[in-house]
Amino acid sequence: MGLRKAKRGNMKFGLFDHIENSGRDLATTFDERIRFIQAADDAGFYAVHLAEHHCSPLNMVPVPGVFMGALARVTKNIRFGPLVYLLPLYSPLRLAEEICMLDHLSNGRLEVGVGRGVSPFELGFHKIDHDKSRDIFFDAYACLREALTHDVFSYEGPSYSYKNVPMALRPLQQPTPAFWYGSSNAVGSTWAGEQGLHFVSNGPTTRAKANIDTFREALAKRGAPAQPKAEFPGGVAIGVTRQIVVADTDEQARNIARGPAERHYKNLNWLRDNHASAEFANRLVVPVASTFEDNLREGSVIAGSPRTVAAEIEKQVAALGINYLISYLFFGDMSFADASRSLQLFRTEVMPKIAHL
């Protein structure tokens, strides 16, 4: 028997996932994630956001559009999108066509996160110069927007050039699906605000607050979001990602979370640890502490009883001023049973207490 959906206030709840190497076979991992996201859909989560990484156990869906195509057909209400598409790795024309397909397959539930890619290793494997990737990203973004908003488009930029290209496909959401940006630094936060995008940060509460404040300042100077969402106060989603585990007691939750979190940190740093070079050894700064306890203390991890988790979320919402909490509930080598139980408790015991925030 299905559980009753929690009533909603201003706060919206999303999911984040890398879909990393869990040690289980990949078909099982995919099946478990699809079932988990279906449960989140039934629970009333707003959206699920998938990371894109390459050549690393951190991410088993390096082509997120393929997995999102499956989600489009087995979910009903939950929105979905990449957080983020690594734009320097795509042809803007080819990506525009993919976006249009996914938007129609989902009946208009696509949310498009964009970024340049934080890892010099991953970009390097694709023959993209990390030092040039930000400029390539800016050019790709402008070109992508042009392609999505015209029946025939032309574009001339430093990295991309198109002339009189017919766009047989157009998005279902007009003029385009909403664009999102995730950042853990001031440069990205400023750019996202200047563009009027929806915004997500991560990392320790103090760092996340600095990025959110920077984003807000840039957005205020712009005046309004580019694609307002009426469901979010002010028309703009401002969120933070948090690894969250809920169990009957604080001790149970932290025991469940610790091993999968340590596996996640190992996967997160796998490329740096295994492919370090003099050129890149000190350039990949991942905004995550080295241990579970450190992340718990800094606020990146929230693990405990429903009461503890709700109290910590309320504290962070007040500090950060967010209206969107993106919960990373299924990570590392966590079992499907533990993740499902955590989701159930989050749905029934946490969401009703904080939905008014």
Residue numbers in the chain where pLDDT is lower than 70: 1-9, 276-289
* Residue-level pLDDT at 3: 36
pTM attached to this predicted model = 0.93
* Residue-level pLDDT at 5: 39
* Residue-level pLDDT at 279: 52
> E strands of 265-353, at which residues?
301-304, 324-328
Q: Tokens standing for 225?
A: 């979001």
Closest CA to 98 of 88, 90, 86, 109: 90
Number of helical H runs and strand E runs in the chain = 13, 12
State how beta strands 47-50 and 112-115 pair: unpaired
Report the distance separating Cα 24 and Cα 185, nearest Å. Answer: 34
Report the distance separating Cα 211 and Cα 186, nearest Å. Answer: 6
Fold of the domain spanning 12-354 = TIM Barrel (3.20.20)
* Residue-level pLDDT at 283: 52
Closest CA to 236 of 187, 196, 186, 177: 196
* Residue-level pLDDT at 289: 58
Report the distance separating Cα 323 and Cα 10, nearest Å. Answer: 7
Report the distance separating Cα 56 and Cα 59, nearest Å. Answer: 6
